[in-house]
Amino acid sequence: MSTLHTVNKSPFAQQTLTSCINICRAGDALLLIEDGVYGALPSAPTAQALKALVNDRKVHLFALEPDLQARGLNDRISDWVKVVDYSGFVQLSTEHKTVQSWY
Amino acid sequence: MKFALAIYAAPFSVQASQTALHFAQTLLEQGHEVIRVFFYQDGVHTGNQLATPPQDEQDITQAWRALARAHQLDVVVCIATALKRGILNEEEAQRYQQPASNLAPEFTLSGLGQWVEAVVHADRVVTFGA
């Protein structure tokens, strides 16, 4: 009964990603999309919480490649973030029972 | 798998409508079924066929129309949120004695019941928020 969470707001501007991090459970996936991809930066205020989410709480963390590219962030993201394209987004949505959008 | 998509965001103010469009295109390319696309709140502006963006910007309404035609999609605009934003089909324009209608022919006006029905029948529901 795992969940795919998508977050489309920057953690530099809003608390959306923090709210999502607090709710995620082991086995869930978190996909950063649109301005949410700023959360993949090592300088993001949520960086340590996301690292702990991946390493300690066993949540899979992804960022959407076209949205990284549109913002020039491809080469600047933390190494614990995996990159997926839209096919990966679709794949994740089929692998998890529900999709929860945070916006 | 059967997908139902809800789009809450206006087409030209945030990225969500574009994200939903790319997601829907990818779903269909991969052989999944999109059983209904439901535009709600400010998302209903996507159905306005009179919207005329500059030539160097993506025309989201035209892109949704083309996708709907190509795949015979059931694209629904919430009637209650659409009418108060001035998105009307010909029938509603006549009913309320308005001088014009603007809903693109690939879209239908209907109620939240259509969304509930789609949620019941879909394997996955994905929301694209503003």
pLDDT digits (tens, 9 = 90+) for B57-75: 999 999 999 999 999 999 9
| In contact, A7 and A37? CB cutoff 8 Å | no
Its domain, for residue B72, covers 2-128
Catalytic residues of B, by residue number, are 78
Task: Please state the domain count of chain A.
Answer: 1
- The pair phi, psi for residue A84, each rounded to 5°, is -130, 155
| A85 to A30, A50, B23: CA distances (angstroms) | 14, 20, 10
- Mutation for A interface: B27, B34, B38, most A CBs within 10 A: B27
Q: What pTM value is reported for the model?
A: 0.96
Contacts of A13 in chain B (CB under 8 A): none
Query: Which tokens belong to B69?
Result: 């035609």
Strand (E) or helix (H) holding B45: none
Sign (positive or negative) of CA dihedral B119, B120, B121, B122: positive
Q: Point out the residues of chain B with pLDDT beneath 70.
A: none
| A46 CB-contact burial (10 Å; exposed 0-12 / middle 13-18 / buried 19+) | buried
Its domain, for residue A27, covers 3-102
pLDDT confidence band for A1 (50 / 70 / 90): confident
CA distance B110 to chain A (A): 24
pLDDT confidence band for A12 (50 / 70 / 90): very high
CATH classification of the domain holding A77: 3.40.1260.10
Q: B13 CB near a chain A CB, below 8 Å?
A: no
Contact A94 B15 (CB under 8 A): no
Contacts of B13 in chain A (CB under 8 A): none
Query: pLDDT tens digits for B89-103?
Result: 999 999 999 999 999
- The pair phi, psi for residue B82, each rounded to 5°, is -75, -50
Nearest CA among A60, A55, A48, A51 for reference residue A24: A60
Task: Please state the domain count of chain B.
Answer: 1
**What does the DSSP 8-state code read for residue B77?**
E
ipTM of the complex: 0.96
Query: Which tokens belong to A82?
Result: 């995996």
CATH classification of the domain holding B48: 3.40.1260.10
Nearest CA among A37, A36, A61, A65 for reference residue A50: A61
